[in-house]
Amino acid sequence: MIIGVAGLGTMGLGIVQTYAQAGFSVLATDAHGPARGSALARLAAALAPRVAKGAMTDEARDALLARVTVIDSADQFAPAALIIEAIVERLDAKQALFTALAAAAPEAVLATNTSSIPVHQIAAGLARPERLLGLHFFNPAPVMKLVELIGPVGCDPQALALARQVTEAAGKTVINAPDRPGFIVNRCARPFYGEALALLEEGRSPGEIDAAMQAAGYRLGPFALIDLIGADINLAATEGLSAAMGGHPRYHVFAALRAQVAAGALGAKTGRGFTFKGEAAPVPPDAASIVARIEAALVNEACWLLSEGGVTRDGIDTALKLGLNFPRGPFGMLDHHGAATIRATLAALEAATSLKGRYAPAPELAA
């Protein structure tokens, strides 16, 4: 089976590698000539560390590269059974591309890797909108196991089945996600950062908050994770979700995050961030209450998402464990703390906050 990939930037190239290393033939293109011209060399460079440490032979690398054909334009995608788009995050650009792809390959299943645009909006205007679905990979695509599969209302079940089958064959764990803002991971992750930023604004330090979370089994604390991904990316994701959710206080954009971006302290990419101030902080004496607070907010967000439909408890837990490296998913946290404790924690937070409604419990948590 032939897979198509449109867009050969960070994600597109990673998606090409994902399918090609699983044995699929891949057709790939980019609107930008130099991105097409350099694609195979960039792919070879991405594989070089594995070849160097003996995890991949020269022959396997060459065979993988031989399975990838860079084409000049979308017109040449006709042989592809599934075409995945990973171009610029703009609705008009994606719609124009999918119109061209639908004309070039009328029988192909079309998929978008969008992070933030509702999939049904991208599909609107296509002659056969039911052929378009979301396949949301995480960065770096060849490494991250999780892929969120988004089937908007009316999506063709056979299209969804094909996308799932080939993506699982490429070694991914595919989780059904609703066509709701942020899908699962980008939405359910918000409280991890949001509660940490709330604590920061209340006078706690990034070091002690991260230390508390790490002591509870999290590989990285919220601030280290912001620094790894980039405060600018985190701010854009938070602002995008806040706007998409009508400015609900659960998605409040904290001034501390805005200030960090304004100061250019974006994390790893600028060498300055929340956590780049020196040695790791000791675990604070009240670490358990920091963890309980952040986890209560994580549980509540997951319960709100669950109440909106299109997703299961297991799906959410798996998505957060694989997408964020969490030691347990929100429903694992709910089992651990118990609904009564979560309700009490949320009630205390609601009583103390000026962001009224931020901690209103989801129906799932009702006594």
Ligand X SMILES: NC(=O)c1ccc[n+]([C@@H]2O[C@H](COP(=O)([O-])OP(=O)(O)OC[C@H]3O[C@@H](n4cnc5c(N)ncnc54)[C@H](O)[C@@H]3O)[C@@H](O)[C@H]2O)c1
Out of 85, 113, 115, 208, which one is annotated catalytic?
A: 115
Rank residues 32 and 277 by Cβ distance to ligand X and give the closer one: 32
Please tell me the distance from the alpha carbon of residue 216 to that of residue 293, in angstroms, as a whole number.
13
Phi-psi region of 204 (alpha: psi -120 to 50; beta: other; left: phi over 0): beta
Based on the shown chain and the rule CB under 6 A, indicate whether residue 9 belongs to the binding site for ligand X.
yes
- Verify whether residue 186 is a known catalytic residue: yes
Stretch that binds ligand X, among 1-9, 187-195, 302-310, 338-346 (CB under 6 A): 1-9
- Verify whether residue 113 is a known catalytic residue: no
Based on the shown chain and the rule CB under 6 A, indicate whether residue 97 belongs to the binding site for ligand X.
yes
Q: Which of 11, 150, 216, 324 binds ligand X (CB under 6 A)?
A: 11
Out of 148, 208, 295, 301, which one is annotated catalytic?
A: 148
Please tell me the distance from the alpha carbon of residue 262 to that of residue 241, in angstroms, as a whole number.
20
Please tell me the distance from the alpha carbon of residue 4 to that of residue 105, in angstroms, as a whole number.
10
Rank residues 2 and 28 by Cβ distance to ligand X and give the closer one: 28
Rank residues 14 and 207 by Cβ distance to ligand X and give the closer one: 14
- Verify whether residue 115 is a known catalytic residue: yes
User: Could you tell me whether strands 2-6 and 25-29 are parallel, antiparallel, or unpaired per DSSP bridges?
Assistant: parallel
Q: Which of 2, 28, 70, 87 binds ligand X (CB under 6 A)?
A: 87
- Verify whether residue 307 is a known catalytic residue: no
Q: Which of 6, 109, 237, 349 binds ligand X (CB under 6 A)?
A: 6
- Rounded to 10 deg, the angle between the 58-66 and 10-21 helix axes is 110
* CB 238 within 8 Å of CB 253: yes
How many other C-beta atoms can be found within 10 angstroms of the C-beta atom of residue 71?
Answer: 16
CA 78 to the chain's CA centroid: 29
* CB 313 within 8 Å of CB 331: yes
Based on the shown chain and the rule CB under 6 A, indicate whether residue 104 belongs to the binding site for ligand X.
no
Rank residues 113 and 345 by Cβ distance to ligand X and give the closer one: 113
Stretch that binds ligand X, among 8-16, 262-270, 312-320, 326-334 (CB under 6 A): 8-16
In whole angstroms, the minimum distance from the beta carbon of 220 to ligand X comes to 16
Based on the shown chain and the rule CB under 6 A, indicate whether residue 268 belongs to the binding site for ligand X.
no
Could you write out the DSSP letters of every residue in 220-247? S-HHHHHHHH-HHHHHHHHHHHHHHTTT
Out of 85, 113, 136, 295, which one is annotated catalytic?
A: 136
Ranked by CB distance to ligand X, the top (closest) residue is: 9
Sequence-distant contacts of 341-349: CB under 8 A, at least 24 apart: 341/292, 341/296, 342/296, 342/299, 342/300, 343/367, 345/292, 345/293, 345/296, 346/296, 346/297, 346/300, 349/293, 349/296, 349/297
Among residues 194, 160, 166, the alpha carbon closest in space to that of 300 is found at 194
Based on the shown chain and the rule CB under 6 A, indicate whether residue 35 belongs to the binding site for ligand X.
yes
Out of 186, 234, 242, 300, which one is annotated catalytic?
A: 186
Q: Which of 3, 17, 21, 30 binds ligand X (CB under 6 A)?
A: 30
In whole angstroms, the minimum distance from the beta carbon of 264 to ligand X comes to 20
Please report which residue ranges of 255-338 form alpha helices under DSSP H.
Answer: 255-262, 287-308, 313-324, 330-337
Based on the shown chain and the rule CB under 6 A, indicate whether residue 142 belongs to the binding site for ligand X.
no
Rank residues 77 and 331 by Cβ distance to ligand X and give the closer one: 77
Distances (CA, A) of 128 to 264, 273, 276: 44, 46, 50
The count of residues interacting with ligand X (CB under 6 A) is 23
Based on the shown chain and the rule CB under 6 A, indicate whether residue 31 belongs to the binding site for ligand X.
yes
- Rounded to 10 deg, the angle between the 231-244 and 190-201 helix axes is 110
Rank residues 98 and 359 by Cβ distance to ligand X and give the closer one: 98
**Backbone dihedral angles phi then psi of residue 25, each to the nearest 5 degrees:** -80, 140
In the stretch 106-135, what mask flags binding to ligand X with x, by CB under 6 A? Answer: -------xxx--------------------
Rank residues 4 and 206 by Cβ distance to ligand X and give the closer one: 4
Rank residues 9 and 249 by Cβ distance to ligand X and give the closer one: 9
Based on the shown chain and the rule CB under 6 A, indicate whether residue 336 belongs to the binding site for ligand X.
no
**Backbone dihedral angles phi then psi of residue 197, each to the nearest 5 degrees:** -70, -35
Residues belonging to the active site: 115, 136, 148, 186
> Where along the sequence are the contacts to ligand X (CB under 6 A)?
6-12, 30-32, 35, 86-89, 93, 97, 113-115, 137-139
